[in-house]
Amino acid sequence: MGLFILRRVGVMILTALCLTFIVFYLTNLYPNLEKLAKTQGNFRMSDEQVESWLGNRGYLEPTFVKYGEWLGVVPGYDIVGADGERRGRCFDSTMNPDDAPSLCGILQGDWGSSTVFKEPSSKIIATRLGLTGKLMLWVLIVMVPSALVVGVMAGMREGSKLDRSLSTFSIATTATPEYVSGVIFIAIFASSAVGLKWFKGSATSAMENATLENFTLPVLTIALYGMGYIARMTRASMAEVMTAQYIRTARLKGVSFKNIVVKHALRNALIAPFTVIMLQVPWLLNGVVIVETLFNYKGFGWVLVQAAGNNDVELLLGVSVVSVVVVLLTQLISDIGYVYLNPRIKVS
């Protein structure tokens, strides 16, 4: 087991390195840097001015060197620019260049600073991640129990009317992407023209003070899309367990149907959905980006859109590191959990 985890962690680190390098490469392509220079400096800069602006700030070094600097394994650049000013990766105009450390990358905890928000990336990401964490927590609280209940109810009597209607419901939810269900929810519950006016169509105020009124719709929108898939997996797993020999034995012994479901079937039926739930988390990340844009909730997904839209290189890299780590960690947890829950599987 230990070796298995170790190997998985090794692959994980390799994957994370590859992915961040791809993001790094794509954001550091010359047209992107040119756009960055023009938005940061001056829109009327000539090509030579753009080049010297970039050169002064170390953007024109080879990609691998820049990646190493960002990672913190290669000393940060220290350039006396064409305009005579000395600039470096590890110090700014307020510091004495000679006191600065030579290495400053994410390994040293320096995530760079955002060119759009004019703040350290790590600070932005931490606050926004907190807000998204709140959203995700409520999504999971709503989504997982309801998905499991729907799945178990549908799977315990396969082919019944209840099964048919619940299965159709879960198909319908998987067929409704967030930007569709969000629009429909706003139309029904929040529109000021027609509709019920129960909830608010914007979640901006939920960032400080989440109430039922401003937080229900975003949570419901994300939960609904992810729910159908988990419910279908639970149904399949439950239906399979219900045909097993020991369930028949329990029935013949005269155990009541309720007891069979709760005591005998449920535990074994919940192994498969656990993996699915964990693997669903990265998927929720997509939903989060859409929902945060739609409901104007300024969390992690909103930052991703802002950073990507403005080619804010260091912030975007920070965002992708976090999201890649989330994806890989959930994969790892789902694998380990699966082995742990299912005694029939042995890794070694």
Partner 1 sequence: MEPLSWGEIIIRILGDMMPTWIALILMFAVSIYYKRNLGLYGKLFDSTIGMIGLAIVMFWVFTGIFSAMDLVGTHDPLGQISGMKNKVPGTPVRGNPEGIYEYYLLGGDNLARDVYTRMVNGSWEVIKIAPFATIFAFMVGITLGLPAGYYGGRLDTMLSFLANLILAFPVILLFYLLVTPEIIATGIPVYMAGVLFIFPIIFFVILFNSRFFTQPSKRNIYLAVTILLGGWLYLGIAWDADPLGVVSFPSNVLVVFVSVVFVNSPTVFRIVRGLTLDIKTRDYVAAAQTRGEGPWYIMLWEILPNARGPLIVDFCLRIGYVTILLGTLGFFGLGLSPESPDWGSTINDGRKLLSVYLHPALAPALSLLSLVLGLNLLADGLREESLRD
Token pair, residue 144, equals 């997982």
Site for partner 1 contains 192 (CB under 8 A):
yes
Token pair, residue 68, equals 């190493």
Name the residue nearer to partner 1 (CB basis): 236 or 255: 236
Contacts of residue 312, defined as CB under 8 A and 6 or more positions apart, other chains included, come to 114, 115, 116, 117, 306
Contacts of residue 298, defined as CB under 8 A and 6 or more positions apart, other chains included, come to 128, 131, 204, 207, 292
Nearest distance in Å: CB 56, partner 1:
21
Name the residue nearer to partner 1 (CB basis): 193 or 252: 193
Q: Write the interaction track for partner 1 spanning residues 89-118; mark x where CB under 8 A is met and - where it is not.
A: ------------------------------
Residue 91: phi, psi to the nearest 5? -145, 155
Q: Write the interaction track for partner 1 spanning residues 243-282; mark x where CB under 8 A is met and - where it is not.
A: ---------------------------------------x
Contacts of residue 262, defined as CB under 8 A and 6 or more positions apart, other chains included, come to none
Site for partner 1 contains 329 (CB under 8 A):
no
Q: Write the interaction track for partner 1 spanning residues 134-173; mark x where CB under 8 A is met and - where it is not.
A: -------------------------------------xx-
Exposure class string for 25-42: b at 16+ Cβ within 10 A, else e? eebbeeeebbebbeeeee
Environment class of 341 (CB within 10 Å of its CB; exposed 0-12, middle 13-18, buried 19+): middle
Site for partner 1 contains 49 (CB under 8 A):
no
- Tell me the pairing of strands 86-88 and 78-80: antiparallel
Which of 1, 126, 184, 262 is close enough to bind partner 1 by CB under 8 A?
Answer: 184
Residues that bind partner 1 (CB under 8 A): 11, 14-15, 18-19, 22-23, 26-27, 29-32, 34-35, 171-172, 174-177, 179-180, 183-184, 186-187, 190-195, 201, 282, 285-286, 289-290, 293-294, 301, 304-305, 308-309, 311, 319-320, 323-324, 327-328, 331
